[in-house]
Structure 1
């Protein structure tokens, strides 16, 4: 495959990855708002898509982290093969977890794909950067979501202890429109930038640019693909997140979404770390659910989700390595 064809293939696969990321992660922002009937499904999907697009335009810090802080592509014609293989690994894992309804991390499937392809190509992997910018935030962000979700829900329950539950429910159902929008904005801020980083890496590998700056067309393409994917929904994962982990009511949904959005903004602007929106909102849902009683959270479902998280990195890496060898053999 010549350089131009390989670059076009990378752009197409990146768009498809962002599209799968959108429908895979649509549940992150709107599952609780839909399950509590704060928003009808179609309205929630359109709202999430618009806020995803807006969030993608806010920053490029995470894109730079993905482009230069994870792997180095080898010099020569094999450079774009590494990027192609990374995308194949990420997309394959996204589709598998979507099929089984597991809210795994699109972010970490992409990082895993990049690492697997780089190792197969005997290229440089920045392990220090992965530990600092990927693994530590991967563990810390859901723990933060869990703890903050529990603490914020306790505070809200204390404030509502003498209020009429039905009236409070109506108020929080309206507030969920704001919190769902904030979470969708954070999702766009985080997840669109991963595709941007991959395209910048590909442009540098192809000799089309020499810096890690993100061209406007890259931002718009990735943001648009993510938004279109979000409009397609993700009902399998939405059922898991909205009902099967913990049956949310409006106050619990509002707190979980607000906590999730706060963690996304903190890591995007302060740390510039590519964390998983799925990890954060799922942990926040568990945190708010635990305030009712520990048994209210279906920990068996949570265990399956955690297993999906653990498998994401090596599974995507393995598929990407295999894809690299196959693409190299095909020339």
Structure 2
């Protein structure tokens, strides 16, 4: 995903995609942008080939957490194949194990046909979270015993973390996912014996990189960390592919009618991450891995593309043209380096928009104008 040089094939892919779908990002209702329905899978093979090649280039990505993944049906609202073609990475929030043949087919379609990377997301607050067999997950003591965790034995703790990392990686390879996304929010109610200890989290990241992640033998298998990456130890940065920052305009509850995301807030958030990891990574590397995401958990706000958006010069944009999701996509770091990308939590709620995924697709094109 992090290719430094765009070769001839990538250049041809950009040209081909531009010929298939290209228009100014503000033309959100354009027939050009929404020419194909999301249920179609019979677009020209040249389109899919160009799409796959473009996704291999060095560019700011589009990302989103997707819940409610359902079985294949005539209506693709709850299917992976129904999401915008140009999305780069989708993180599954729930329902990522015990896959049926229908779900496996849906997964392979978006991976192989569209070149979309699909990862799955989980908290790792405590040892074995979401990976402990049911019969050993009855209480904390039983769970910890299964994994070999002992509060008073550092060697046992390290071994338990290694066992946990192996279980996570085994799931990645079992279903041939494209990686794993750690939901890391220790200061927002999701701390624990693992997540609340940075040294232990570093051990987990190192162990995971024996199988997946940027330092692993399988660097195409991504390791993302979302939530509060800036609170980790500096040494942990190089073991993560993308810092997915929940730069939410609203972090829960009912927002006010005037809720507004701000460009200068994105600047300060990035600066915090730059300050944290500057001793182990270059400024360009950190910026290239920095993905900012909006909260679209409220269906109403999701259908409206988020909230109001204010630029650095203090101008609040017309919400009907540039809501916060589009604003985040348009945001460019002041240091001149390419950002990692933009994304949204629960972007799938916009599947019922008219047209479907109107704002996610508009935002994708705002960030990368040749895409739809």
TM-score by length of 2: 0.27
From the two aligned structures, give the one with the greater strand fraction: 2
The higher radius of gyration belongs to 2
TM-score by length of 1: 0.29
From the two aligned structures, give the one with the greater helix fraction: 1
Larger RCO, structures 1/2 (Cα 8 Å, 6+ apart): 1
